[in-house]
Amino acid sequence: MGYNTQMVSARQGIVTAQMETVARKENIDVARLMELVALGRVVIPANKNHLSLDPCGIGEGMKTKINVNLGVSEDCCDMETELEKARYALRLQADAIMDLSCYGKTREFRQRLIDISPAAVGTVPVYDAVGLYDKSLESITADEFLGVVEKHARDGVDFMTIHAGINRETAATFKRTSRLTNIVSRGGALLFSWMELNGRENPFYEYYDDLLEICGRYDVTISLGDACRPGSLKDATDAAQVHELIVLGELTRRAWEKGVQVMIEGPGHVPLNEIAANMILAKKLCHGAPFYVLGPLVTDIAPGYDHITSAIGGAVAAASGADFLCYVTPAEHLRLPTLEDMKEGIIAARIAAHAADIAKGIAGARQWDDDMSEARRCLNWSRMFELAIDPEKARQYRAESQPEHEDTCTMCGKMCAVRNMNKVLNGSSNL
């Protein structure tokens, strides 16, 4: 094992600077954290070349983290706008940013993003390959796909979504079964198409050892992509999804043998009553590796409100074992999100993550709520605003509707239960 990854260091009993930072942030004993990293149950995405990184831990016993997606595309290729989104996401306390760029000066954007981001940066190399080589999908070679991974790793990308689980057997399972929405993963659809057009195995599966060698050299965390994630409630927990999950479990063990850190990506669109089972299944089949979910969305009927459908599913998923939530904005399924869409998506995901942390008993999570309740009991408006997950919106709502009595709001006025209970319990008869 010639690599010097966080996992390898942990197995050797070496406490890295990144482990010390994460232990302090999570209020966990560093020796316990080192044990979890060694076992693969916690990852610390930390590329050796990401010099501005303020590392975070993702996995068992850690606070639930959230990721924000952005990037340039052919239809929306304004690099400065996307960098502005990145800065905004960081101000709103996103834990990670994924660059999904697939058009134009992708490397320049990626490098600038890494330079400004103390949060972990992720990418999906297969997206970049299509735009970078400027040729038909089927003519891209396995070496070229791996070449993009190498470029991203060298630039300092901390984690990469690699759809290695959709091998020819998984593809055959998908084709044998009836799916309402087929393959909705962009990377999964590209690789399925490549395999069909070339009659060959998925290059990321066939040359997985070469992929691990690249990731090991730079300490890139592999986020094993869910090409067959369900894109509708009807397709949830079907044969293709589960078959791919079994393959991802095998690939996880192979990565751990090389000392490479791994996360598993999960669904998608899942009925509320199936979410907990999906989390248990993923953790079981993938040996306790950290689990990263897109949503999951609990209904298919809410375009324009999918930050809500996602937050509902995300809270249940994280409470049931998911470790990392990918935010979903109101623009999901409709268009590239704006700054305001991004804010709504981030706040919704953070609420879901925090609610799950309370359910999971994460140290200190409940204290935030207790502090807010104390401020409400005291009708301490300035303290409530300080504690609010979105102080700007809370202050705005208060300012837009001023009450007659400063210690009330315009909902109840002098009938405010909190105000009157405080007065009565303090012996006042002047309500």
409 is in an annotated binding site: yes
CB contact set of 151 (below 8 Å; sequence gap of 6+): 107
The reported pLDDT for the residue numbered 75 is: 75
pTM (predicted TM-score): 0.96
186 is in an annotated binding site: yes
76 is in an annotated binding site: no
How confident is residue 59, by pLDDT bands cut at 50, 70 and 90?
A: very high
Nearest C-alpha neighbor of 123 from the set 110, 137, 140: 110
**Section 43-64 average pLDDT:** 98
Percent of the chain exceeding pLDDT 90 equals 90
326 is in an annotated binding site: no
The reported pLDDT for the residue numbered 103 is: 79
The DSSP letter of residue 47 is -
189 is in an annotated binding site: no
The reported pLDDT for the residue numbered 406 is: 83
215 is in an annotated binding site: no
Name residue 265's amino acid.
E
* pLDDT tens track for 268-308: 999 999 999 999 999 999 999 999 999 999 999 999 999 99
How confident is residue 361, by pLDDT bands cut at 50, 70 and 90?
A: very high
226 is in an annotated binding site: yes
Q: Which of 76-80, 133-137, 212-216, 334-338 has the lowest mean pLDDT?
A: 76-80
333 is in an annotated binding site: yes
**pLDDT over 90 (residue 122):** yes
The reported pLDDT for the residue numbered 1 is: 52
50 is in an annotated binding site: no
Contact 297, 310 (CB under 8 A): yes
| φ, ψ at 11 (rounded to 5°) | -65, -25
The pLDDT mean for the chain works out to: 96
Residue 134: left if φ>0, alpha if ψ -120 to 50, beta else—which one? left
56 is in an annotated binding site: no
How confident is residue 146, by pLDDT bands cut at 50, 70 and 90?
A: very high
The packing angle between helices 186-198 and 168-176, to 10°, is 100
127 is in an annotated binding site: yes
163 is in an annotated binding site: yes
Which domains, and CATH codes, for the chain? 44-360 (3.20.20.540), 401-431 (no CATH)
95 is in an annotated binding site: no
